[in-house]
A and B are shown apart, each in its own frame.
Chain A
Amino acid sequence: MAQADIVREFEEVLERLRGAHVAAFEGAKSEHELREQNARFVGPAGELTLLMKRMREVPGDKKRELGQRTNAVKSEIELRFTERLAALARALREAELSGPRLDPTLPGRAVRLGRLHPITQVTHQLLDVFASLGFDVADGPEVDLHEHNFDMLGFPPDHPATDMQDSFYISRDGAIDQRSLLRTHTSTIQVREMLKRKPPLAVVAPGAVYRRDDDATHSPMFFQIEGFVVDEGVTFAHLKGVLTRFLQALFGSDVAVRFRPSYFPFVEPGGEIDIHRNGRWMEVLGCGMIHPVVFENVGYDPERVSGFAFGMGVDRMAMLLYGIDNIKQLYENDVRLLTQF
């Protein structure tokens, strides 16, 4: 081919492409179309690409000039392509942003929530307060020896005080065996811990206890927390201090607390604590200085150590805190009720 022909062809193509790509790019309605059009010019088989491959056929004196003009067209195409690409992306984004709304009133995808039983929640709350005061947590069996439940706590055999604790005994070979029973209070753990350890002791013990009562305010199984401190120089004033602080942590720092004397065989002096709520005094726990007989029974010297003990019904606390009026509701495990707490 003549050199003049090739120069003419170059000039023709460059001239055509300078205008053609603008229309082609404008006509592209999607990124895909745009890229197709782009490939028509600068793709591996594009017109411009093919043209550039023929540069070596161009005579030497024209090479420089045609080279520059070809590159200028290529840059122009690239620039237009980029601009158009951005414009298309923007248009797409605009369309998405003005598209249909989601329905925010559809329900959330459910994550099921679990709940701890109110008794457990209160137990944890109570234990946390005592833990912050330096108490250990202890545990013991629910079926225990008569000895641990009564005798070592100073209940004399046949004493009318056992009227207060009508107990479930365990059957052995079809007969009643008075040596073991379902513990009637968590004070068994007091005895067990004292037999196992030496003072100083500061222990709380939660757990299920059992008494032969069944009405709106009594369940045959219920929960107690027992606590006790034994050391040299422990006094009734300490008992008052610890339990006042405890009740404030639970019921608020302005709760009115009343200590009044009461009787439990294993404490002396013994007492009960009322708090003032909803316009009246409500009993929340029993307490007292550990009876020297108990110390003697576990091998402590009552002349040297003293201590206080207290016990409270967790059910009662839960009922007070959550406004539950029938204790049975705590043990029915109605899921509609349990999921409220």
Chain B
Amino acid sequence: MRASYKWLKELCLFEATPEQVAERLTSAGLEVEGQKRYGDLPGVVVAEVRAKRPHPSRDKLNLVTVFDGERESEVVCGAPNVPAAGKRVLFARSGARLPNGMVIGERNLGGVVSNGMICSEIELDTGAEADGIVVLADELSALPGTPVASALGLEDTVFEIGLTPNRPDCLGHLGLARELSAILSVPLRLPTATVPRALRPAKSSASPARPVVLFAAQASVGGEPLANAELEVRDGERCPRYATAVVEGVTVATSPFWLRYRLHVLGLRAINCVVDITNLVLLEYGYPTHAFDLQRVRGERIVVRTAREAESIETLDGLVRTLASDDLLICDAERPLAVAGVMGGLESGVHAETKRVLVECAYFDPRAVRRTSRRLGLHTDASHRFERGVDPRAVPGVLARVVSLICELAGGATAVHGFEIYPEAIKPREIRLRVERIERLLGASPPEGRAREILAALGCEVEGSGTATLLVRAPTWRPDLTREEDLIEEVARIWGYGEIPTDVPRVRASLHGAEPHTRFVRRLKERAAAVGLTEAVNLAFVSPRQLDQARAPQPAVRVANPLSEERSVLRTSLLPGLAANVLRAQRHQVSHVSVFELARVFRPTNELLPEERHKFALVLAGERASFLGDGALYDFYDAKGLLEAICTPLARRPLETFIDEQLAEQQPSLHPRRSARIRVGERVVGMLGELHPDVAEALELTGPVIYAELDVAELLAAGSAELAPQLRPVPRFPSSRRDLAVAVDEASEAGAVGAALREAGGALVEAVELFDLYRGGQLPSGKKSLAFRITYRDPEATLTDQRVDEAHGRVVKAAERLFSAALRA
């Protein structure tokens, strides 16, 4: 909402500067987001045209002699409307800087030197007219040399106010002025509407409710006392109040400068005086009204009804709109004239030849207007206000104000009649305010009497005295005031949130505590970062194509109204996002990527809500950390090592990876020979592997890319149930180590070999560690050598060589027997 400082000052008698007004409005919840100064035009003055002659060489230019109060100068002017001598224009002297940044200087135009410029509206930012220069109306003319800002009253500051949707009352200057009057404790000055008072009965009507006369003319035109406009409202729910007034003998002309300028600074284009008046009242009361050319209202009859099937109307913007049966229309005897509360029709609008004007002022159901506006995709100044709720009780006053201005400005108006249909009076809401509740809610209360003062200044009627309970009738322009708390907010708001003290509550201890899950997620992330992974946060939206490329689980949850196909489904795997991150890094020649993400994936269910599971995923690509070129590319075992480092301390159980023949089928994103399931304790918690080369290719990734994905809930559940790790005594007796290398088939798993050795060794074996893996050399092909270091220990005694030899002998035998293993020295 744009608001003029100057206008507010006319409506409310304050002394505050624009900066102060902005600050006070903001601290009362009407956030001033920007300010713009108007009329800052040094060097632009009123000048009198003294003579004009054609340009010697250029057809379309004139040489105009103007007197700017100090001297006469001849300037070149290209405008088609240079007036006769004696008229006054606006003249920018040499050196003047115009709002568009242009600095006036000496110019040579077709061999004639011009010093200064006669200005148009658009050049001075006083209006939108660009086709001709401003010629001052006689009544506006100030003496030549008068600065234009003071001659035309241009100085103003326009505020851009970010209004919250609960404050429709502030969509007009009057509402804002009322706020200022409450904030600054200064009186409000309401605009006047002088309307003839004589009343006449209305003509009969087919409406269920009979129209009543609001006001009528004291005089008549051509012996016909009342316009024949009959009123009929067929849908009282969508239209609880409808009023019209007829003004005869109107001359539709250009509006006076002050009106055009006011509309201009507030962002509206001047059209003609009748339309401009409805716009002025829109900005004044925040109340949309509409003016019809009565000549074009067939049957001089207004019917308010919902649209018929496939009915259409050409709206003011020149588009033909097809309506739905839920849309409310303003019609004449034959067809629609306007979409109620949204936009008027092109045909029935006021135009230059209009003589008889029918003004509409109505209260429409906010929700109905909103539905229609949404359906038509048509958001207008009118619909914006009706949707939020205008003041139903303001109808007669607003109508009178429009009519009064038409009488005043659209010269020659001679007859006025007003009718309305308003079957059920809308009453102000009554709210009880227990004074002690103010302090109970705020922790403090304003000085005695201030609360009452504030509510009254905002337009509430307050009954009751003292400190117990007040009966407050909230004004109907404040649909947001419905309960006690709303009134307390008003008191706090105007008093000032800054006035309320600060205090710290004693937060009472809760038995609930943090959920283990949220703590676990945090520890998991922190450990992942600690072992060298960088966290990514990707959007949950992906495209179906991305899921296909990543061979992610399907089906996915679809967004009904996505922003684009690229973001139309919810991820079922963290791979698409992380793959995109790797791709980005590779495109920027980043030598290695080691990234993790912890986020939810979504799968559809038969319930209303999808299944959401937290997944932890990591991706490795490029060079592992190296020293002076001894580096190699990340592989499976880098990821496994990282996962062990991340998970083992959290789970306090070892992490194992194992082959599962079903994995390739269930997780086709991974390389069938270079992937494994991950188990912690008894639970399978995820999978790990190199991306399937087809998948990597589809995702445009280069080199081996290692990916692992773990289910966070499973990992949490897989952890040790012990509250804390239990102490194991440090061994008191020495251990004895023996090394053993066995050559086994390539297909043998080191884990199985180690486990068998351990079992063969019996109780004395403390640990079996693989410390070397060797292929080639003297080994036959298809064989690999695994070297194990076996630690023997008796926790209760010092081992003798003999006992170690016995145990180790069993290990060696088992190796030979189980793996046909050739022992290596």
Interface residues in chain A, defined as those with a beta carbon under 8 Å from any beta carbon in chain B: 106-107, 109-117, 119-120, 124, 131, 133-139, 141-145, 158-161, 163-164, 168-172, 175-177, 179-180, 182, 197, 200-202, 208, 210, 212, 214, 219-221, 229, 231, 233-238, 240-242, 244-245, 258-263, 268-272, 289, 291-292, 306, 330-336, 338-339
Q: Assuming the A-B contacts A261-B29, A338-B535, are A158 and B371 also in contact, with contact meaning beta carbons closer than 8 angstroms in the complex?
A: yes
Residue from B480, B526, B538 in contact with A333 in the complex, judged by beta carbons closer than 8 Å: B538
Q: Assuming the A-B contacts A106-B628, A114-B531, are A260 and B26 also in contact, with contact meaning beta carbons closer than 8 angstroms in the complex?
A: yes
Closest to A119 in B: B537
Q: Assuming the A-B contacts A120-B525, A235-B440, A263-B166, are A335 and B486 also in contact, with contact meaning beta carbons closer than 8 angstroms in the complex?
A: no
A residues near B530, Cβ cutoff 8 Å: 114
Q: Are B532 and A338 in contact (CB under 8 A)?
A: no
B residues near A179, Cβ cutoff 8 Å: 608
A residues near B387, Cβ cutoff 8 Å: 160
Q: Assuming the A-B contacts A260-B497, A262-B164, are A136 and B514 also in contact, with contact meaning beta carbons closer than 8 angstroms in the complex?
A: yes
Residue from A142, A161, A306 in contact with B441 in the complex, judged by beta carbons closer than 8 Å: A306
- The reply to whether the CB of B824 lies closer than 8 angstroms to some CB of chain A is no
Stretch among B93-101, B267-275, B589-597 lining the A interface: B589-597
CA distance A245 to B507 in the complex (A): 14
- The reply to whether the CB of B557 lies closer than 8 angstroms to some CB of chain A is yes
Which among B537, B563, B594 has the highest number of chain A CB atoms within 10 Å? B537
Residue from A141, A306, A331 in contact with B440 in the complex, judged by beta carbons closer than 8 Å: A306
* Cβ-closest 8 pairs across A and B: A237-B443, A261-B29, A235-B443, A269-B489, A263-B164, A134-B507, A112-B532, A176-B560
Q: Output the least CB separation between B611 and chain A (Å).
A: 9
CA distance A170 to B628 in the complex (A): 53
A residues near B526, Cβ cutoff 8 Å: 116
Q: Are A260 and B533 in contact (CB under 8 A)?
A: no
Q: Assuming the A-B contacts A116-B529, A141-B609, A333-B584, are A240 and B628 also in contact, with contact meaning beta carbons closer than 8 angstroms in the complex?
A: no
Closest to B625 in A: A110
Q: Are B510 and A145 in contact (CB under 8 A)?
A: no
CA distance A235 to B567 in the complex (A): 43
- The reply to whether the CB of B28 lies closer than 8 angstroms to some CB of chain A is yes
Q: Are A138 and B537 in contact (CB under 8 A)?
A: no
**CB<8 Å pairs between A and B, sample of 30:** A111-B625, A112-B532, A112-B594, A114-B533, A114-B596, A116-B535, A119-B537, A136-B514, A143-B610, A158-B371, A160-B165, A160-B387, A169-B559, A169-B561, A170-B559, A172-B560, A202-B508, A235-B440, A237-B501, A238-B505, A241-B504, A244-B502, A259-B500, A262-B31, A292-B485, A330-B537, A331-B537, A333-B536, A333-B577, A338-B534
Q: Assuming the A-B contacts A111-B532, A143-B609, A336-B590, are A168 and B504 also in contact, with contact meaning beta carbons closer than 8 angstroms in the complex?
A: no
Q: Are B528 and A114 in contact (CB under 8 A)?
A: yes
Interface of chain A, main secondary structure:
mixed
Q: Are B440 and A208 in contact (CB under 8 A)?
A: no
Q: Are A335 and B443 in contact (CB under 8 A)?
A: no
CA distance A258 to B24 in the complex (A): 13
Residue from A231, A236, A336, A338 in contact with B500 in the complex, judged by beta carbons closer than 8 Å: A236
How many B residues are at the interface, by size bracket? 35 or more
Q: Are A138 and B515 in contact (CB under 8 A)?
A: yes
Q: Are B165 and A220 in contact (CB under 8 A)?
A: no
A residues near B588, Cβ cutoff 8 Å: 334, 336
Residue from A141, A245, A259 in contact with B497 in the complex, judged by beta carbons closer than 8 Å: A259
CA distance A91 to B637 in the complex (A): 47
A residues near B488, Cβ cutoff 8 Å: 268-269
- The reply to whether the CB of B728 lies closer than 8 angstroms to some CB of chain A is no
Q: Are B508 and A200 in contact (CB under 8 A)?
A: yes
A residues near B504, Cβ cutoff 8 Å: 238, 241-242, 245
Interface residues of B in 272-305 (CB under 8 A from A): none
CA distance A107 to B366 in the complex (A): 71
CA distance A333 to B596 in the complex (A): 11
B residues near A144, Cβ cutoff 8 Å: 609
Which among A160, A182, A200 has the highest number of chain B CB atoms within 10 Å? A160
Q: Assuming the A-B contacts A335-B585, A335-B595, are A136 and B513 also in contact, with contact meaning beta carbons closer than 8 angstroms in the complex?
A: yes
Q: Assuming the A-B contacts A106-B628, A263-B167, are A269 and B540 also in contact, with contact meaning beta carbons closer than 8 angstroms in the complex?
A: no
Interface residues in chain B, defined as those with a beta carbon under 8 Å from any beta carbon in chain A: 26-29, 31, 164-167, 366-367, 370-371, 387-388, 440-444, 480, 483, 485-486, 488-489, 492-493, 497-498, 500-505, 507-510, 512-515, 517-519, 522, 525-526, 528-541, 557-563, 567, 570, 577, 580-581, 584-585, 588, 590, 593-596, 599-600, 602, 608-610, 612, 625-628
Q: Are A237 and B444 in contact (CB under 8 A)?
A: yes
Q: Are A333 and B537 in contact (CB under 8 A)?
A: yes
CA distance A330 to B539 in the complex (A): 10
Q: Are B493 and A332 in contact (CB under 8 A)?
A: no
CA distance A176 to B31 in the complex (A): 36
B residues near A244, Cβ cutoff 8 Å: 502
A residues near B570, Cβ cutoff 8 Å: 143
Q: Output the least CB separation between A196 and chain B (Å).
A: 9
Q: Are B371 and A134 in contact (CB under 8 A)?
A: no
Q: Are A212 and B518 in contact (CB under 8 A)?
A: no
Q: Are B507 and A261 in contact (CB under 8 A)?
A: no
A residues near B503, Cβ cutoff 8 Å: 235, 237-238, 240-241
Closest to A108 in B: B627
B residues near A172, Cβ cutoff 8 Å: 560
Q: Output the least CB separation between A268 and chain B (Å).
A: 4
Q: Are A171 and B558 in contact (CB under 8 A)?
A: yes
B residues near A136, Cβ cutoff 8 Å: 510, 512-514
Closest to B504 in A: A241
B residues near A117, Cβ cutoff 8 Å: 535-537
B residues near A177, Cβ cutoff 8 Å: 560, 608
Q: Are A143 and B612 in contact (CB under 8 A)?
A: yes
Q: Output the least CB separation between A189 and chain B (Å).
A: 11
In the complex, besides A242-B504, A260-B26, 4 extra interface pairs with C-beta distance below 8 angstroms are A114-B596, A134-B508, A142-B600, A333-B536
CA distance A131 to B513 in the complex (A): 10
Q: Assuming the A-B contacts A236-B442, A242-B504, are A338 and B627 also in contact, with contact meaning beta carbons closer than 8 angstroms in the complex?
A: no
CA distance A262 to B37 in the complex (A): 26
A residues near B507, Cβ cutoff 8 Å: 133-135, 200, 202, 229, 231
A residues near B366, Cβ cutoff 8 Å: 160
Closest to A146 in B: B608
CA distance A233 to B508 in the complex (A): 12
Q: Output the least CB separation between B532 and chain A (Å).
A: 4
B residues near A110, Cβ cutoff 8 Å: 625-627
Q: Are A141 and B510 in contact (CB under 8 A)?
A: no
Residue from B442, B486, B600 in contact with A237 in the complex, judged by beta carbons closer than 8 Å: B442
Residue from A107, A119, A262 in contact with B29 in the complex, judged by beta carbons closer than 8 Å: A262
Residue from A163, A270, A334, A336 in contact with B489 in the complex, judged by beta carbons closer than 8 Å: A270
Q: Output the least CB separation between B744 and chain A (Å).
A: 33
B residues near A330, Cβ cutoff 8 Å: 537
Residue from A112, A137, A159, A233 in contact with B625 in the complex, judged by beta carbons closer than 8 Å: A112
Q: Output the least CB separation between A152 and chain B (Å).
A: 15
Closest to A175 in B: B560
A residues near B596, Cβ cutoff 8 Å: 114
Residue from A182, A245, A261 in contact with B28 in the complex, judged by beta carbons closer than 8 Å: A261
Q: Are A234 and B609 in contact (CB under 8 A)?
A: no
A residues near B625, Cβ cutoff 8 Å: 110-112
CA distance A106 to B628 in the complex (A): 9
Q: Are A141 and B485 in contact (CB under 8 A)?
A: no
Q: Are A263 and B165 in contact (CB under 8 A)?
A: yes
Closest to B505 in A: A238
Q: Output the least CB separation between A234 and chain B (Å).
A: 6
CA distance A134 to B505 in the complex (A): 10
Q: Are A221 and B501 in contact (CB under 8 A)?
A: no
CA distance A334 to B593 in the complex (A): 10
B residues near A292, Cβ cutoff 8 Å: 483, 485
Which among B387, B503, B528, B628 has the highest number of chain A CB atoms within 10 Å? B503
Q: Are A202 and B510 in contact (CB under 8 A)?
A: yes
Q: Output the least CB separation between B522 and chain A (Å).
A: 7
Q: Output the least CB separation between B486 and chain A (Å).
A: 6
Closest to A180 in B: B608
CA distance A124 to B598 in the complex (A): 14
